[in-house]
Structure 1
Amino acid sequence: MGLLNEKITAGAFVTADLNYLAPIYGRPRTYTFDPPAGEPRSTAEPEPHAVAIHDARPSIDQWSLDEHGFAVAHQHSAVSDFYDDENVKDVYYPEAEKLLKDITGASRVFIFDHTVRKRVDGVNDRGDGSRQPVARVHVDHTDRSGPQRVRDLIPEDAEELLKGRVQIINLWRPIRGPLKDSPLAVADARTVRFDELVGSDLVYQHRVGETYAVKFNPQHRWYYVPDMTPDEILLLKCYDSTKDGVARFAPHTAFADPTAPADAPPRESIELRALVFHAP
């Protein structure tokens, strides 16, 4: 990655543990359902490291998807209930599609899923209750799984679409705010080497996906947006087919903010994932 942009203003920071991938023999694997007898739910063991997570607000308008791998946008949503899947699909999907086209100049946007999360003490993610914040450093897609998602989801047009630039962008926003509990941290993609990204199997009932776990490097530079409101969206680059120096993968994770008040309402958030296409 290139040198860090000296115009970015350094803000205050908090220090918190982020869960990187511990050294492992073999390829990491995680089941999204109860694993076969005798198999662990995941072979990816966490390795916590205390890192500085910087306040992104002083330079909030300077962050760029193509330079840093993340950006912040403002958008008031007309969604009446983010817990209503049909309301989200009917109202939020078109809002997000327009926002992504405006920001990226894309010729086509295909939104393929969304996840609502509400933190509940003592509950594991993918259990019987609410989906939980993911407290491990990861990237949702990889150099292999990015194009595969196009083939899986848009098979009739996939090969033509893959001739042009393809991105996968995650739109993350609080449902309630200002958010203080379990905020999202994102690494400046310029500070993360490609060989620190570890392909990991995510096993579903009928398919195997691939994500990146991340090896620790003290050179990684982390940011978060304190007190995010429901009208703020954190955009995360999870894949980019372009290899000419733009940010391609932005590692991210939930973290426990040590400055959050003890009575802070539990985090409620929604993330939406989109394939973003540019004509060849």
Structure 2
Amino acid sequence: MEPTSIIATINYWRPPPPGEAEQPFGVTTAGHRRRKYNPQPTKIYNLRGREHEFDLDKNGFQFVTDCPSRERRWDDEARMREHVYPEIDALLKKVTGATHCYSMGHVIRRFSIADGLAAQEGKADNEIVTLTTPATVANVASAAVANAHPDQSYNGAKYVLDNIISTLPDRAVAADLAAKAKGNNRWATINAWRPLGLVTREPLAVCDAASMEESDLRAAPVQHNNPTVADGDANPPQCKDEKWQVAANPQQKWYWPNAMTEREVLLVKCFDSRRDGRARRTPHSTIQTLGDCRPVRERIEVRWLVFWEGVDAEGGDEGVRG
């Protein structure tokens, strides 16, 4: 029988000590894993049987079932771009009505929360941490991320767009993205999360964007340390970036898809330029549950820039919730 809800710990924003500034996130470093949070037991509702109740514009996430991939080799970069990216491109256009999607790259997470914590032992805060198995070497970004966050703040999403346009090797594609960005078109950043098998450990939970206040969000600068997408950090070192942290608030409502399979995709909106009342950001976090068992879950996360050409970039009012 499907559980209707569970209690799991969510790691929320923890204020810095009095008189101190917010510390930057050092992506892929030991200090990133040592960051202090405010852990709170949180009720998390099962999406199973309720998939139709949630969508990207109302809630900031959408659970797509019966969406298999024809790809079976997830360690081949060329095959990923040839098969997986077009599949997600088509799915995003179908679900959102977008006119253009550009992949910012992907990361495959094969390591647990405990793996990430163990890997930083004995390292200085600014040291890059790697995780190794006989089959792969990856940095600590490839371990599950267990804190409430959207990937970018509103400013951070604009920084990401600018970073991509300024550093993309294919200058024709960069020019096309720049033209779309300057054309006052609506745009968003959306993550597509697909397991590579049945999820029996450390699932992903998402927060309903409509259930949280703007005042729950806390901006923090991000320091990038590795420029390769394969290592989970698509931004060049020293680039400007910013993400949200999330303060605990009992009115927030969290959800997770129990026993998610490789035939399913969870779409998570990190940013939307529209200010007309639709969801603009969706916190998410890996969680640990009492039912965790079997091997560490593996999943691929493909990150996208999505454009709606001919749709006004903002519209609405700055102060509208969501």
Quote the Cα distance in structure 2 between the aligned partners of 1:59 and 1:124.
33
Write the deviation string for residues 172-204 of structure 1: whole angstroms up to 9, x where unpaired.
Answer: 011111x12000000000111112111112211
1:247 aligns with 2:247: no
Q: Is the 8 A contact 2:150 2:243 kept in 1?
A: yes
Counterpart of 2:201 in structure 1 is 181
1:195 aligns with 2:197: no
1:102 aligns with 2:94: yes
- Paired letter, 1:219: Q
Counterpart of 1:28 in structure 2 is 23
Residue of structure 2 aligned with 1:48, choices 31, 34, 39: 39
Counterpart of 2:185 in structure 1 is 164
1:57 aligns with 2:48: yes
Helix, strand or coil for the counterpart of 2:215? helix
Quote the Cα distance in structure 1 between the aligned partners of 2:80 and 2:37.
33
Q: Is the 8 A contact 2:201 2:292 kept in 1?
A: yes
> 70-79 or 46-55, which moves further after superposition?
70-79
CA shift, 1:109, in A, is: 0.4
> 98-107 or 121-130, which moves further after superposition?
121-130
Residue of structure 2 aligned with 1:91, choices 78, 83, 88: 83
- Paired letter, 1:174: P
Q: 1:120 to 1:196 in 2, by over 3 A?
A: closer
CA shift, 1:43, in A, is: 8.2
Counterpart of 1:270 in structure 2 is 300
Helix, strand or coil for the counterpart of 1:58? coil
1:12 aligns with 2:4: yes
Helix, strand or coil for the counterpart of 1:57? coil
Q: Is the 8 A contact 2:203 2:286 kept in 1?
A: yes
Quote the Cα distance in structure 2 between the aligned partners of 1:120 and 1:31.
19
Counterpart of 2:72 in structure 1 is 80
Quote the Cα distance in structure 2 between the aligned partners of 1:80 and 1:95.
13
Identity level (%): 28
TM-score, structure 2 normalization: 0.77
> 121-130 or 62-71, which moves further after superposition?
121-130
TM-score, structure 1 normalization: 0.88
Q: Is the 8 A contact 2:8 2:41 kept in 1?
A: yes
- Paired letter, 2:197: R
Write the deviation string for residues 189-228 of structure 1: whole angstroms up to 9, x where unpaired.
Answer: 0111112111112211322421111111011100000000
Quote the Cα distance in structure 2 between the aligned partners of 1:14 and 1:33.
30
If each structure's strand is expressed as a fraction of its own residues, which one has the higher value? Answer: 1
Quote the Cα distance in structure 1 between the aligned partners of 2:32 and 2:258.
33
- Size of the alignment, in residue pairs? 263
Gaps of 5+ in 2: 118-127, 132-137, 166-173, 226-236, 311-322
Q: 1:171 to 1:16 in 2, by over 3 A?
A: same
CA shift, 1:34, in A, is: 4.7
- Paired letter, 1:273: R
- Paired letter, 2:281: F
Q: Is the 8 A contact 2:190 2:305 kept in 1?
A: yes
If each structure's helix is expressed as a fraction of its own residues, which one has the higher value? Answer: 2
Counterpart of 1:229 in structure 2 is 261
Write the deviation string for residues 146-192 of structure 1: whole angstroms up to 9, x where unpaired.
Answer: 12322222352455423110011100011111x12000000000111
Quote the Cα distance in structure 1 between the aligned partners of 2:163 and 2:214.
25
Q: Is the 8 A contact 2:100 2:308 kept in 1?
A: yes
Residue of structure 1 aligned with 2:248, choices 216, 222, 246: 216
Quote the Cα distance in structure 1 between the aligned partners of 2:215 and 2:113.
35
Quote the Cα distance in structure 2 between the aligned partners of 1:20 and 1:218.
12
Residue of structure 1 aligned with 2:154, choices 109, 131, 143: 143
Helix, strand or coil for the counterpart of 2:49? helix
> 60-69 or 120-129, which moves further after superposition?
120-129
- Paired letter, 1:84: D
Gaps of 5+ in 1: 1-10
Quote the Cα distance in structure 2 between the aligned partners of 1:33 and 1:269.
18
Quote the Cα distance in structure 2 between the aligned partners of 1:41 and 1:232.
30
Q: Is the 8 A contact 1:192 1:220 kept in 2?
A: yes
